[in-house]
Structure 1
Amino acid sequence: MDKFENTQANNEKDENKQYYIPMEVTAETIKDFGIDPADVVWTKIGNRKKRVVMIAATEEQYKAYMRPLWREDKRQQRQEPMASLDKMYEETEYEAADTSDLEADIMKAIMIDELRKALDELEEIDRTIMDMYSRGQSEAEIGQAVGMSQRGVNKRKHKVLLKLKSRLKDYE
């Protein structure tokens, strides 16, 4: 066979070629439409295997149906096979380092240390009042515990708070 005859034979094969479009079916559609179960085959539609019936179609119908599927296959083939390190880093949630302020953290630690020293220097009764107050107890309850009136506890508490505030004003 020469080249011309070979090309002519291939063209005749293409003209006689039958095209099929897969139509997905379920058990209900097979039953409802009286589809012969022997005609049902498993085939890949997109990236998934589906139960289908092959429907005869023209070449144009076939290509119109298949083009989006071919495009999707090509797109997936072009995707990078391994995720880049940059992409993995971008997709990972980290606490941003710039959200913490080192200077503010150090100042806070120094202020807490100074507050502890100031509380240690208080009289025993004032430390008791502040301890109970920090645990949410009422002034009346504190007064009963330390042997003072509620008003006396209130005055002492305010004096202590003013003393602590003036001592810590440099750390604000």
Structure 2
Amino acid sequence: MYNFENLQTSSENKRYYIPMEVTAETIKDFCINPADVVWTRIGNSKVRVIMIQATKEQYYEYMRPLWKEDKRLQRQESMASLDKLYEETEYETVDTADLEADVMKKVMIDELHKALDELEEIDRTIMEMYSNDHSESEIGQVIGMSQKGVNKRKHRVLLKLKTRLKDFE
């Protein structure tokens, strides 16, 4: 039998922290204990911070704009359509022929085609719609999945393709 009272108590006692970036000068000037300084990621860069305890409301008020900006940047990353991906990776002729590189490129393209063909139908739908500039929310509505679920599946597929084609880098 599960005790739900303990579950509520533990979530009520949860502590929230906001990262405050520090430099060597601020550590020295404000007599911050160097042991309290940790490395964390804010946005796309790793920085030294101290963690300031905050209320749940303060934490969400501080973090929501960061999460929103991060999501906006993710959505701006252009994803090539599968058709475009096929077109751009097809065999190309060049002035300086490098037969070995051309053969390796052809083998890589064939492997990419196989990998894309082996995807589950839902993953192909996600990738096709995303490559045609549909938002994750729109994709989720079409396939009956949450936006977060679409995001996770999309990243899993991209990782699978990258891993499969790693030998061709």
Normalization by structure 1: what TM-score? 0.43
Q: Which has the larger radius of gyration?
A: 1
